[in-house]
């Protein structure tokens, strides 16, 4: 179970506003429906307001919210380990005065076993302001505890103000050992979201399913091929309806027959583990995967060494490959011996090296005597037949 407090818990929604959460179509983990309980400001204007986005897979129901000008809270109820827990999203506007009695009234509404999160606009680390001291005295009286993030949640733009922690969780639950809180800076806002994770079993809603486990598709294909009858005469409308019902019934019977039911103890065994145990299991699997890869490579090398024989030439080929000298290409250097690091320096070295061997041909104009000799040589008639063979 993960609880995220975001955007100061103020949604600025009017009573008639509707909104939809779109999930990525290619991500099966986020492709879930959500319910949106919300509490508007009493005057109906688009300011303040709180809301809770919860997966429809978690069994829950909305409770009567706290709707006052100085405190707005949306409250739902879920079950953790068969214990009802109230989840409240709270927003306390800064302009209203909230005293000790106001906080007591709100916490008495939540009663026992609850987690309230949001923007209380109270500096919890100092409890110096009036609202902070009133909240602190109310926590002491009602035996409540607060869970604060490690970093500030509000970073003011004014240079004379320091970052403060205005967003935190107030809880009254039996066990805080399995909780982990962290700051989440993924969204852009003046208040950074905080995320509280609690490693406990949550009661989920039971979705209707025709089968209660995985299907052996090979057996399903075989049984369907054996039992289905496609040689049916379709002459009237009733024949089509009867044939369709028969095919559907055959498919359902094959699916039920070839389904392996899941053991509920095995299904829920991993959910009840604490966070540190789950982390150790992940680390164990990672180490085991590395060990298996190492042992596989070592085993392959041992088999390769045993397969080398001096008679079939395999030992000679392996020795030749291992002892083959591989010339290393030296790095490019300037004339002063420094390395050429940039692409421009390397290009200049190649340009200067290729400029010397590749020079244009020197074409000299022949003198008059050479031209006369060339013309005389070309004017001599060619022989009409091959020369006579020498006679010995």
The answer on pLDDT for 38 being more than 50 is: yes
The answer on pLDDT for 32 being more than 70 is: no
pLDDT band at 327; cut points 50, 70, 90 = confident
| 132 occurs within a structural domain | yes
Which CATH number goes with the domain that contains 49?
3.60.10.10
Q: Which of the residue ranges 133-142, 235-244, 334-343, 365-374 would you say has the lowest mean pLDDT?
A: 365-374
Q: Which residues neighbour 373 within 8 Å (Cβ) at sequence distance 6 or greater?
A: none
Q: Are residues 121 and 182 in the same domain?
A: yes
**End residue of a domain, out of 222, 254, 289:** 289
Q: Are residues 34 and 137 in the same domain?
A: yes
- Condensed to tens digits (0 to 9), the pLDDT of residues 142-176 reads 888 888 888 888 877 777 777 777 788 888 887 65
Q: Are residues 222 and 137 in the same domain?
A: no
Q: Are residues 19 and 117 in the same domain?
A: yes
Better pLDDT: 324 or 18: 324
CB distance 245 to 251 below 8 Å: no
**End residue of a domain, out of 245, 267, 289:** 289
| 315 occurs within a structural domain | no
- pLDDT value for 84: 87
Calpha distance 110→90 (Å, rounded)? 12
Q: Are residues 184 and 259 in the same domain?
A: no
- Condensed to tens digits (0 to 9), the pLDDT of residues 172-213 reads 887 655 677 888 877 666 778 888 887 776 767 667 777 778
| 373 occurs within a structural domain | no
| 345 occurs within a structural domain | no
What is the H or E stretch that residue 320 is in? helix 314-323
Domain count, the chain: 2
- pLDDT value for 50: 83
- pLDDT value for 303: 87
| 257 occurs within a structural domain | yes
pTM of the model: 0.52
Question: What is the pLDDT averaged over residues 242-253?
Answer: 91
CB distance 121 to 130 below 8 Å: no
- pLDDT value for 344: 92
Residue % of the chain over a pLDDT of 90 = 6
| 356 occurs within a structural domain | no
Long-range contacts: 267-271, Cβ < 8 Å, 24+?
Answer: 268/201, 271/201
Better pLDDT: 362 or 139: 139
- pLDDT value for 11: 54
**End residue of a domain, out of 146, 170, 198:** 198
Q: Are residues 126 and 226 in the same domain?
A: no
Q: Are residues 31 and 132 in the same domain?
A: yes
Q: Are residues 170 and 283 in the same domain?
A: no
Question: What is the pLDDT averaged over residues 62-68?
Answer: 85
- pLDDT value for 44: 59
- pLDDT value for 347: 92
| 295 occurs within a structural domain | no
Work out whether strand 114-119 and strand 83-91 pair parallel, antiparallel, or are unpaired. parallel
Question: What is the pLDDT averaged over residues 369-392?
Answer: 81
- Condensed to tens digits (0 to 9), the pLDDT of residues 267-294 reads 555 556 666 788 899 999 999 988 888 8
Containing structural domain, residue 35:
2-198
Calpha distance 1→169 (Å, rounded)? 15
Q: Are residues 172 and 233 in the same domain?
A: no
- pLDDT value for 28: 42
Q: Are residues 113 and 218 in the same domain?
A: no
Q: Are residues 12 and 139 in the same domain?
A: yes
Q: Are residues 266 and 181 in the same domain?
A: no
pLDDT mean across residues, the chain: 78
| 153 occurs within a structural domain | yes
The answer on pLDDT for 18 being more than 70 is: no
């Amino acid at each position: 179970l993960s609880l995220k407090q975001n955007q100061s818990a103020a949604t600025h929604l009017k009573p008639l506003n509707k909104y939809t959460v779109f999930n990525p179509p290619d991500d099966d983990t986020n492709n879930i429906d959500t319910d949106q309980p919300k509490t508007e400001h009493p005057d109906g204007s688009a300011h303040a307001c709180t809301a809770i986005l919860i997966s429809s897979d978690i069994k829950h129901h909305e409770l009567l919210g706290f709707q006052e000008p100085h405190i707005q809270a949306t409250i739902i109820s879920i079950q953790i380990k068969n214990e009802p827990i109230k989840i409240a999203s709270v927003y306390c506007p800064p302009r209203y005065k909230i005293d000790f009695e106001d906080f007591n009234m709100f916490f008495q509404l939540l009663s026992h076993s609850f987690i309230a999160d949001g923007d209380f606009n109270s500096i919890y680390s100092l409890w110096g302001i009036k609202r902070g001291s009133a909240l602190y005295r109310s926590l002491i009286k009602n035996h409540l505890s607060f869970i604060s993030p490690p970093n500030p949640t509000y970073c003011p733009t004014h240079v004379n103000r320091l970052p403060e922690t205005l967003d935190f969780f107030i809880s009254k639950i039996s066990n805080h050992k399995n909780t982990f809180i962290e700051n989440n800076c993924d969204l852009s806002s003046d208040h950074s979201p905080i995320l509280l994770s609690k490693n406990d079993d949550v009661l989920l809603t039971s979705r209707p399913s025709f089968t209660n486990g995985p299907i052996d598709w090979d057996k399903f294909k075989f049984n369907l091929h054996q039992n289905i009858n496609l040689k049916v005469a379709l002459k009237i409308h009733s024949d089509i309806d009867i044939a369709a019902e028969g095919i559907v019934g055959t498919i359902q019977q094959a699916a039920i027959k070839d389904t392996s039911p899941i053991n509920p103890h095995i299904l829920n065994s991993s959910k009840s583990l604490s966070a540190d145990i789950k982390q150790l299991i992940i680390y164990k699997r990672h180490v085991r995967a590395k060990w298996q890869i190492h042992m596989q490579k070592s085993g392959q090398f041992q088999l390769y060494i045993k397969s080398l024989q001096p008679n079939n030439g395999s030992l000679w080929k392996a020795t030749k490959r291992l002892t083959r000298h591989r010339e290393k290409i030296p790095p490019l250097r300037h004339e002063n011996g420094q390395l050429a690091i940039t692409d421009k320096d390397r290009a200049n070295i190649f340009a200067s090296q290729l400029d010397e061997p590749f020079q244009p041909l020197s074409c000299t104009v022949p003198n008059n005597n050479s031209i006369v000799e060339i013309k005389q040589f070309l004017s001599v008639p060619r022989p009409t037949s091959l020369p006579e063979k020498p006679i010995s």
